[in-house]
Amino acid sequence: MTEIATEVGAAALELDALDVVYRVRGRDRQVLRGLTLSVKRGEAYGLVGESGCGKSTAALALVQYLPRNGFVRSGAIRIDGRDVLSLSGSELRRHRAKAVSMVYQNPGAALNPSIRIGNQVAEVFKVLGVSGSDATDRARAALEKVQIADPGSVMRRYPHQLSGGMQQRVIIAMALATDPALLILDEPTTGLDATVEAEVLDLVAGLQAELNTSVLFISHNLGIIQKMCDRVGVLYAGRLVEEGDTESLLSDPRHPYTVGLLRCVPRAGVRKDHGRLDTIPGFMPNVGDQLPGCVFAGRCTLAEDRCHTEEPDAHVVGAGHLSRCHFHDRAQTLPREFSADLVLPNVDRSVPPLLRFDDLGKVFAQGGHDVHALVGVSAKIWIGETLGLVGESGSGKTTLARTLLGIIPSTSGAVVLDGRELAGTLGKRSSDDLRSLQIVFQNPDSALNRRHQVRRILRRSLKKLSGLTGNAAEARLHELMQAVRLSERYVSARPGQLSGGLKQRLAIARAFAGDPKLVVCDEPTSALDVSVQAAILNLLVELQAEKRVSYLFISHDLGVVRYVSDRIAVLYLGRLMELGPSETIYDGPHHPYTEALLSALPTIDGEPRERIRLEGDIPSAANPPGGCVFHTRCPRRLGAICDDVEPPLIEVEENHLMRCHIPLEELRTLQRGHETPESAGSAT
Amino acid sequence: MALITLFLLSVVVFVMAQLLPGDVGRNVLGPFASQDQVDRLNDTLGVNRPLVVQYWDWISHFLRGDLGTSLQYQVPVSDLLGPALANSLKLAAVAFVLVVPLSILGGTIAGLKRGGITDRVITVGGLSLTAVPEFVTAIVLILIFGVTLGWLPVTATAPEGASIPTQLEYLLLPSFALVAVLFGYIARITRSSVMESVDADYTRTAYLKGLSQRQVVGRHVLRNSLLPTIAVVATQVGYLIGGLLVIEKLFNYNGIGQRIYTAAVNKDFLLLESGVMIVGVIYLVATFIADVLYSVFNPRIRVQGSE
């Protein structure tokens, strides 16, 4: 560390023993604990950690925009050699205008809704004293730089008229406009579709190489960090527990937390029948907790007495590789999750399916236009299996789930459960049907009544779905809580007192109150940290093994979908593009759209696949392209036939349906170059 | 939608007016007339006909712009309401011109200095003033500025032929009473929407661009926080007119509130009903203007979706 500090020429960023506290009810609660790191010029430094570890606080401290109760208690921040903490008001403004820029997590909220894009970008230059028309010209140039097509028209628009990806490009344009010494990216692609995420990351990587900008990249996603960063720091409870070159840190982690974090992520090729995912037991300490020893000791299965009392030094474990662990040399021996053998149900596909979508269609009337949200979707789900549903936002995933649940009626076709056609709306369905089909939402916060205690939430579901009251309900309630591993002591807690993972367990318990036959899981883990995500996925798989329940699993995270799904359906503009067993969908040959989705996935293992770029955004369902709906973005478009004739969904090989004009064998040849060795072996 | 509201209002007002105690003929002729005379007058006025017939008679004429004849004064209702309405609008306009900038300024300052002394003075002070009924505020104001200090006249009506500044002087005290009632409400709405914009991500973006606080507030915060305020201000027009009723009575001012009040006391049906209807129309027009303003200022409503 001291090496870097004495180097000639200031680093882009230097944090020196930074302590940040939040003052809550007169008490200082420590968020950052002696954070020391430096970002060299032209370097991309990744700061990884789960929610609550202090990574966003670090970013806000750098730009001196902490919440009003947040203070830097001690330590130093130097950006481009300047001590940020001692800047006066006007110096700080100048510093923000020139030296440091930030790209935020939620681009839609970061742009002013009532100012035209052009004016918002031009403002960056006006602050530096550039005159009106000059600023406009430079704003246009800045937008061109981030590859926005037709910047002139974009400049006249308001933020709500742009897609999420475009909004983020605008923010990036503003951030890089003044060639800052340091660019902070705080979860810049969270909430964007995988294909858009990949585009934004490509753009940032390209511009960074071109402008030689120094970057502090904050993310919870190790795959993205690997793709984007030269060095990584792992932040836990406000302390940097490990730091090193991306390559060596991810391949040879020396802190138990890093080891655990890496194991939580569903790796390529791992499926539920291969065993459970690893998790990190316990919870991150609360902000302000007194932690005399190692910050991770409370959750570390390697911890000994010494870890709880004595703070570990930063041990040098390799070239530029530091670990704050007393036992860094055996961090990788961290015991794996106790993996009791799961007996997954054998899916018997010779019997009639549990659920069938029969040529399902949904048309919304919107401002005089018909929007075809679903077009002729047919699929089957058998007892005990999981059908994964993937596609970009706007592809019709949610509409399909809602139609299935009876929240909205379909306009054509039918949903058939156990051989009976279901009524279109909830009100007309029998209580048996309601009980059979349940849902777990993405955001448990808004799905659970925050005024009710856990007991009341579950008792209500038990009464509504199973007609249980009194002692019978109470007994079942405890069974349910046990089934979802929700400790008894939470029975009188309200959702607000539970962590995100516990809330999702409660939501799952609620869905299982009536012994459902099929549960729709709508992005159930995308709001959760990876370690919690792993635990929730384990739980869903365990419940499936126990109760032979079927899932319709919707997610934009293809790694997660692969882990839980037996078969996968790919939707695009309301049409089924591909449907088949998980391995087939992942190993290929794939539909060109699936191929693009997979190549956009940032992964932490193996060689990255060659990126297949998709041009532009998903077209509007109100005005879908003629012919094959994907032809406008398809990298493998054949020619006129794709523009004019919509290909049928046909069985190209056993159990593998695809909607493409290109013959399977040709796709196999075309895609051979991009396959992972493992899958190339299986494709004979 | 607005038409349905007006229709319902007309029915409610009509029925309520009929429920008022007292006899029209008796009110007009006084206690010494014979019952026979009273009955004959009631027949002439048509107040003995079935309610539906009376309602139809009134509303059909009202819609054609014929407000009827006052039972009490035997002159066209429009001759009575017209000047009264003009007087009321004058008073309302003065109050409005005072309260809007004052309360928006107060609310903005409170929102920017959240939690500070200034904020507390404005919020608590405004709320207390709103909570006190207007007749109390008015009497206190009269006692202080009119009686004790003698700075302002205690009535609202200027002498015949007075110059505009003098007329304004007479209107100042009753306006203050109205301002006191409305200030707290508008200021609170402004404060909360300013705070919401201050906390918004786009405000952070603006600060991190290196703009000064003045620029951030002027260009980014106010533009977004005044939107909801506009809607609230316009709905207060209706409230203002309701407040006029009491204030006009207290300051002995010849406005529409005073007219409606007297009409209710005298069971002067047509005057009462038409007066209330006019207030209703004004309220709806104000709300409509608020909606139009809101969409003019809000690009998300003005410019539909993405292309």
B63-77: per-residue pLDDT in tens? 887 777 777 777 888
Q: What is the pLDDT of residue A386?
A: 95
- CATH fold for domain B84-302: MetI-like fold (1.10.3720)
* Two tokens, residue A237: 């409870």
Strand-pair partners of B15 = none
Q: Cβ separation of A112 and B202 shorter than 8 Å? A: yes
A120, A543, A565, A580, B210 from A555: Cα distances, Å:
34, 19, 11, 16, 39
pLDDT-derived band of residue A195, with 50, 70 and 90 as boundaries?
confident
CATH architecture observed for domain A2-99+180-332: 3-Layer(aba) Sandwich (3.40)
Minimal-distance CA residue of chain B relative to A620: B307
Chain B closest-CA separation from residue A102 CA (Å): 8
Mind giving me the DSSP string for chain B? -HHHHHHHHHHHHHHHHHHSSS-HHHHHH-TTS-HHHHHHHHHHHTTTS-HHHHHHHHHHHHHTT---B-TTT-SBHHHHHHHHHHHHHHHHHHHHHHHHHHHHHHHHHHHHTTTSHHHHHHHHHHHHHHHS-HHHHHHHHIIIIIIIS--S-SSSPPPTT--HHHHHHHHHHHHHHHHHHHHHHHHHHHHHHHHHHHHSHHHHHHHHTT--HHHIIIIIIHHHHHHHHHHHHHHHHHHHHHHHHHHHHHTT--SHHHHHHHHHHHT-HHHHHHHHHHHHHHHHHHHHHHHHHHHHH-HHHHS-S--
Which helix or strand (DSSP H or E) is residue A479 part of?
Answer: helix A470-483
Strand-pair partners of A360 = A377
Chain A closest-CA separation from residue B219 CA (Å): 9
Instruction: Select from B208, B220, B306 the Cβ nearest to the Cβ of A161.
Output: B306
Rounded to whole angstroms, the Cα distance separating A553 from A550 reads 9
Asked if A253 and A222 touch (Cβ cutoff 8 Å), the reply is no
Chain B closest-CA separation from residue A150 CA (Å): 13
Range scoring the smallest mean pLDDT among A40-54, A78-92, B232-246: B232-246
pLDDT tens-digit profile of A295-353? 999 888 888 899 999 999 999 998 889 999 999 988 888 887 655 566 777 888 889 99
Residues of A in contact with B207 (CB under 8 A): 65, 96
ipTM of this predicted complex?
A: 0.81
Asked if A253 and A309 touch (Cβ cutoff 8 Å), the reply is no
- The pTM is what? 0.81
With b meaning 16 or more CB within 10 Å and e meaning fewer, what string describes B19-52?
A: eeeeebbbbbbeeeeeeeebeebbeebebeeeee
Closest CA to A587 of A653, A660, A497: A653
Average pLDDT, chain B: 82
- CATH fold for domain A355-568: Rossmann fold (3.40.50)
Other C-beta atoms closer than 10 Å to the C-beta of A641 total 14
Q: Cβ separation of B299 and A174 shorter than 8 Å? A: no
Residue ranges covered by each domain of chain B: 2-63, 84-302
Residues of A in contact with B224 (CB under 8 A): 112-114
Residue spans of alpha helices (H) in A33-131: 55-62, 89-98, 107-110, 117-126
Q: Cβ separation of B300 and A160 shorter than 8 Å? A: yes
Asked if B74 and B268 touch (Cβ cutoff 8 Å), the reply is no
Greater confidence (A205 vs B284) lies with: A205
CA A78 to chain CA centroid, Å, is: 32
Q: Which of B195, B203, B208 to mutate to test the interface with A (most CBs of A within 10 A)?
A: B208
Mind giving me the DSSP string for B166-192? HHHHHHHHHHHHHHHHHHHHHHHHHHH
Q: What is the mean pLDDT of residues A31-53?
A: 92
Residues of A in contact with B304 (CB under 8 A): 367
Q: What is the pLDDT of residue A455?
A: 92
Per-residue pLDDT at A580 exceeds 80: yes
Q: What is the mean pLDDT of residues B244-268?
A: 82
Chain B closest-CA separation from residue A456 CA (Å): 34
Range scoring the smallest mean pLDDT among A9-13, A88-92, A128-132, A455-459: A9-13
Show the 3-state SS of A553-578: EECCCHHHHHHHCCEEEEEECCEEEE
For CA atoms A370, A376, A377, A382, the dihedral sign is positive
Asked if A675 and A681 touch (Cβ cutoff 8 Å), the reply is no
Instruction: Select from A106, A114, A367 the Cβ nearest to the Cβ of B223.
Output: A114
pLDDT tens-digit profile of A536-574? 998 999 899 888 999 999 988 888 898 999 999 999 999
For CA atoms B19, B22, B23, B25, the dihedral sign is negative
